[in-house]
Amino acid sequence: MIKEIKKIGVLTSGGDAPGMNACIRAVVRTALHKGLEVTGIYQGYQGLIDANFKEMDTRSVSNIIQRGGTILKTARCMEFKTTEGRKKGYDNLKAAGVDALVVIGGDGTFTGANFFSKEFEIPIIGIPGTIDNDLYGSDYTIGYDTANNTVIEAIDKIRDTAASHERLFFVEVMGRDSGCIALNAGIAGGAEAILLPEKETAIDDLIRHLEDGAIKKKSSSIVIVAEGDQNGGAYYVAKKVKEKFDHYDTKVSILGHLQRGGAPTSFDRVLASRLGFAAVNELLAGNTRVTVGLRGNEIKTTPIEEAISNKEIKLSPDLLEMAEIL
């Protein structure tokens, strides 16, 4: 049975995502409204081990809803993967009087939270914050919508120069295991082809597709490549295409970490706020080792183990077919 919760800790871990600050704000202000104390844990699980804590009040989260990144910072922490590291983190939490945790992050964050909660019986709620949109239990993860818009803006600008110089651009976007950004931004940006981790695309098939465009007198083309594409990334694909098809002047653009930055969209701010609010309420209702996520237009919980282990592909068959046709 979960003991009464008087103080909660909140941390962000793994890759940063636009909207994390809006989520932190919602967690802190909801908890304070419910009569709880809140401790901010800096630099993710590393902060647990180093006792890098700071008590938070309403003013601590003022004027951050519009900011990208995370005011609590984030870091990778190998030590937390060890039993000894997690024990050190627990001892620090206990000394600080923290009764429960809200963790905001992705797959690795949830995996660490699951181990930690089981070992030390500390209540934990996970909030999906990752631009990759690759976690089961939520239709959308915090930061995904903003990243999509960032990529679309970049594609639009690249198309201007591609058309001016009659070039073929291979644009690589983030998505080591998930093609959500590539697929959605590719459709919205009018890409001629989209290469995804979940779906193998033969180089010869891509070349035939580009040849069809050349026959139709297309003056430029853009191919979106998810970084986890099975062919090996944009540079490799571009090289192989150039060897067999030199109709266009070929260029590669790696969008990289700019996809993580920027002010969160309205959608991400509202989503993050809803999930932060829900996480605190779930803790107070006695729930633990679950994630909160958006399904349809309702906030639902999913066991953390299921959120980690369920690798259900989020790519809509309709979107995949539409991408081929359009």
Residues identified as active-site: 132
- Distance in angstroms (rounded) separating the CA atoms of residues 292 and 270: 14
- Distance in angstroms (rounded) separating the CA atoms of residues 260 and 268: 13
Consecutive H or E run containing 7? strand 7-12
- The greatest distance separating any two alpha carbons of the chain, rounded to the nearest whole angstrom, comes to 71
Sign of CA dihedral 115, 125, 47, 9: negative
Helix and strand numbers (H, E) in the chain are 11, 11
- Distance in angstroms (rounded) separating the CA atoms of residues 159 and 221: 8
* Residue 285: CB atoms within 10 Å: 10
Residue 150 to residues 130, 145, 167, 220, Cα–Cα distance (Å)? 15, 9, 22, 22
- Distance in angstroms (rounded) separating the CA atoms of residues 241 and 238: 5
Token pair, residue 243, equals: 């060897």
Task: Tell me the β-bridge partners of 199.
Answer: 196
- Distance in angstroms (rounded) separating the CA atoms of residues 19 and 265: 8
Structural contact between residues 106 and 14, judged by C-beta atoms closer than 8 angstroms = yes
